[in-house]
Structure 1
Amino acid sequence: MDKTKKIWEKAKKTASSKEQMKSTLTKAGDKLKRLAANSNELQELKSKLEILMRMFQSHLAGEYRAFPFSTILLIVFALIYFITPIDLIPDFIPALGFTDDASVVFLIIKKLNRDIQKFHLWEEEQWEQAD
């Protein structure tokens, strides 16, 4: 629990600074690129993180502002948890290393389901307008 509490405090601090949010997004993107895509579980984790990162990027760019602060805070928490090197199960252990990261990300995805659906609708509108 100590790790979770520390990350929560860091997420609150990060969510109040645009520069820290950009840095977190960059670090999460870098780690996401390093994920081995050789298992369905890692593919699903990667997919869920990509959704959170698109939501976060759109918010930072000022393109999509419909998220309440609590949603941004949960996204920041998920990304910080993902990039934090100290895990219950170290990331370098094959097949199990990302289990705790995945658990946290999937829990947050479930909690943000309504915001994610709204965001997807908004993305579709943007793609249609671009055509």
Structure 2
Amino acid sequence: MDKTKKIWEKAKRTATDKEQIKSTLSSAGNKLKNLAENSRELQELKSKLEILMRMIQSHLAGEYRSFPISTIVLIVFALVYFITPVDLIPDFIPALGFTDDASVVFLIARKLNRDIEKFHLWEEEQWEQAD
């Protein structure tokens, strides 16, 4: 079984377990903090990961439930792939290590663009209501 398929299977299992999702979010948050912020590409990666993490956190908290389980599985897949140290291009390889991570995250974010836009609108409504 190739690594991507293993990660996909793990993502499907994780997406149905609230505690595993929380653990994945924590790991992704820790890895995200360690990313260097000196390039536009890494800033974009960080931004995409942050929105995906907020989407899952809002879903877990029961605050936002407007996306299907397939969206949750794709987001969890992106996060699991991001935190997995041994993927197509290992993260320790300078300049290339995050290339495959970024590719996966950007691909999934593009696929979930409509869900992300709806979530952004929902977040804006929440901020306006808080004022």
TM-score under structure 2 normalisation? 0.97
CA distance in 2, matches of 1:25, 1:51: 12
Identity value in percent: 85
Look up the match of 2:99. 99
8 Å CA contact 2:4, 2:87 repeated in 1? no
Residue 91 of structure 1: how far off its partner (Å)? 1.4
Q: Where does residue 114 of structure 2 map in the other structure?
A: 114
Structure 1 runs (4+) deviating above 3 angstroms are none
* Structure 1 vs Structure 2 CA RMSD: 1.0
Counterpart in the other structure of 1:88:
88
Q: Deviations over 1:14-56 (max 9, x none)?
A: 0111110100010000000000111111111001000100101
Distance (Å, rounded) in 1 between the aligned partners of 2:69 and 2:88: 28
CA distance in 2, matches of 1:125, 1:116: 14
1:59 matched to 2:62: no
The count of residues paired between Structure 1 and Structure 2 equals 131
User: TM-score, with normalisation over the residues of structure 1?
Assistant: 0.97
What 5-or-longer segments of structure 1 have no aligned partner? none
Cα shift readout 1:57-105 (whole Å, capped 9, x = no counterpart): 1001110000100000000000000000002222122321100000000
